Structure 1
Amino acid sequence: MMLLVNKQAIAKAFDRAAINYDNYASLQRFSGDALLELAPACSGRIVLDAGCGTGWYSRIWRNRGKYVIALDLSLEMLKQAKIKNSANYYVSGDIDYLPIANGTLDIVWSNLAVQWSSDLSTVLNRFNQALKPSGYMLFSTISDGSLKELNIAWSYLDQYNHVNQFLSRKEIFKICHMQNIICHSQVVIMHFPTVLSAMRSLKGIGATHVHKGRNIIVLTRNNLDKLGKYWPRDKYGFRLSYNLIYGVTDL
């Protein structure tokens, strides 16, 4: 499914989050650590971190002795990655138009980035083209049903979209099967003490751009109280659910 995606707006959202991103990126590290566990043994050296963010996993791959190319749409994210000496080389670029020559990479790594692409099939195909014959890709993404609590709570305040439309698990698995990729799925539920902290967790990682737009509503104390009244929660706090998909090349 092709999505109409405003890449400039996405980049600006991540630019704003870059400085404090690592303070909020617990889901990204959970997902990335789980993805690392699925990595096959590989003697290859050249790794592309596609959607590197601040370079957390670029540093992990570099510490494993790899030559790491860090790529991101957000210039501010790349700036943070450079400050932290995360990679060997840095590229400002869009995964939808991957600026990497064919057959040059041993590993393509992409942790929670491809959900911002216009077309998953095209992105994964481009990743495959950039790989050497013996190379492999690892990626994670989010499927539909994620952040359902946010939608539920906002539905009582307005009728606008507050969560992006994600591909279904079935659609993602089908695309991956066609690209020789094995998929795994996992549901992760995060908990927050307040609605405000839940909202800040999304803002902190730059996940605030909604493709189809939304009503810009001021988060007054009254509105926060209304959201808190309807936001699903349990004994651990206010919930945010994520349906994660992990994809690994079938070697």
Structure 2
Amino acid sequence: MMQAVNKQAIAQAFGRAAQSYNQYAELQRLCGETLAGYASRQQGQRVLDAGCGPGWFSQRWRSAGNHVTALDLSAEMLSQARASDTADRYQHGDIEGLPFTEPQFDLCWSNLAVQWCSDLRLALTELYRVTLPGGQILFSTLSDGSLHELAEAWKPLDLSAPVNRFLPPEAIRQAGENLLLTLTQQTLTLGFPDVLSALRSLKGIGATHLHQGRSGGLLSRRHLHQLAQCWPQDQRGYLLSYHLVYGVIHCE
């Protein structure tokens, strides 16, 4: 459940994507709407959006009649959320060390953010710590095997695939084993008209930081041609599959 991550580099990667994020965030919206369906209540709550990005779901929860605190590791993402008036309160911070001294939220929400944490158990424990008795924690994350098309297409190239390692579902379950955690799994596959569009969808949401370091250089025209020959595709186009895990914790 532990992985070495460079939080500063992650924040910088997402900061560079702050203005483009919503343009490319189809996966985040689809995943988030499914996650929202697990909420016990839709309004009248104090909500923490942990890993808010530019605030798409902060705005959703606020518009539904909730008081929303938007938190993000990236100052640029938080500025983008503030500029769009998406929340009632904005807080720069890390999910693994939340800057709140006591429980104060009815719902702690984290959509596709905890996969960037170094210790998932610590992240979930922190969310639990700031959730009021009777409240909920809802989170989504990626599990191993995600982006397998990208990894497969990269094999013939003389470059390492730009794919992070994600935890298997059992490790995610173990991270919350003392927290009354319930997990649900889903696979979403998106199609793109060409290889560049698929790669830009990752860059556009900031998901380009590699925990193991740089992938080895820029792609040449020859590399792109090779990728196009090897990338799995169907009638939807060039595919990217995401193995999603939805977590629900009821706080006592």
TM bucket (normalised to shorter chain) is: over 0.9
Contact 2:42 2:64 in 1 (8 A): no
Contact 1:21 1:54 in 2 (8 A): yes
1:178 is paired with a residue of what secondary structure? coil
2:236 maps to 236
1:28 aligned partner, one-letter code: Q
1:116 aligned partner, one-letter code: W
1:129 maps to 129
2:172 is paired with a residue of what secondary structure? helix
C-alpha distance in 2 between matches for 1:5 and 1:44: 36
The 5 A counterparts of 1:1-251 are 1-41=1-41, 45-158=45-158, 160-250=160-250
Q: C-alpha displacement at 1:249, in angstroms?
A: 1.7
Q: C-alpha displacement at 1:176, in angstroms?
A: 3.0
Contact 2:14 2:74 in 1 (8 A): yes
Contact 1:44 1:135 in 2 (8 A): no
C-alpha distance in 1 between matches for 2:218 and 2:125: 41
Contact 1:176 1:183 in 2 (8 A): no
1:245 is paired with a residue of what secondary structure? strand
Stretch deviating more after TM superposition (11-20 or 176-185): 176-185
1:174-226 CA-partner distances (Å, limit 9, x unpaired): 32343212110000001011000000000000000010013332222211001
Gaps of 5+ in 1: none
C-alpha distance in 2 between matches for 1:20 and 1:104: 32
The count of aligned residue pairs is 251
1:31 is paired with a residue of what secondary structure? helix
TM-score (norm 2): 0.96
Contact 1:153 1:231 in 2 (8 A): yes
Contact 2:141 2:244 in 1 (8 A): yes
Stretch deviating more after TM superposition (235-244 or 159-168): 159-168
C-alpha distance in 2 between matches for 1:106 and 1:42: 11
Q: In the superposition, relative to structure 1, how do residues 250 and 92 fare at CA in structure 2: closer, same or farther (>3 Å)? A: closer
C-alpha distance in 1 between matches for 2:108 and 2:3: 23
C-alpha distance in 2 between matches for 1:46 and 1:142: 26
Contact 1:182 1:250 in 2 (8 A): no
Q: C-alpha displacement at 1:161, in angstroms?
A: 4.4
1:80-135 CA-partner distances (Å, limit 9, x unpaired): 10111001110111111111222211110000000000111111011111111111
Contact 2:43 2:65 in 1 (8 A): no
1:163 is paired with a residue of what secondary structure? coil
Q: C-alpha displacement at 1:41, in angstroms?
A: 2.4
1:217 is paired with a residue of what secondary structure? coil
1:130-150 CA-partner distances (Å, limit 9, x unpaired): 111111111100000000111
Stretch deviating more after TM superposition (41-50 or 197-206): 41-50
1:162 is paired with a residue of what secondary structure? coil
- Percent of residue pairs identical: 50
2:176 is paired with a residue of what secondary structure? helix
Contact 2:44 2:67 in 1 (8 A): no
Q: In the superposition, relative to structure 1, how do residues 44 and 137 fare at CA in structure 2: closer, same or farther (>3 Å)? A: farther
C-alpha distance in 2 between matches for 1:235 and 1:25: 22
TM-score (norm 1): 0.96
C-alpha distance in 1 between matches for 2:63 and 2:40: 17
Contact 1:3 1:118 in 2 (8 A): yes
C-alpha distance in 2 between matches for 1:29 and 1:177: 28
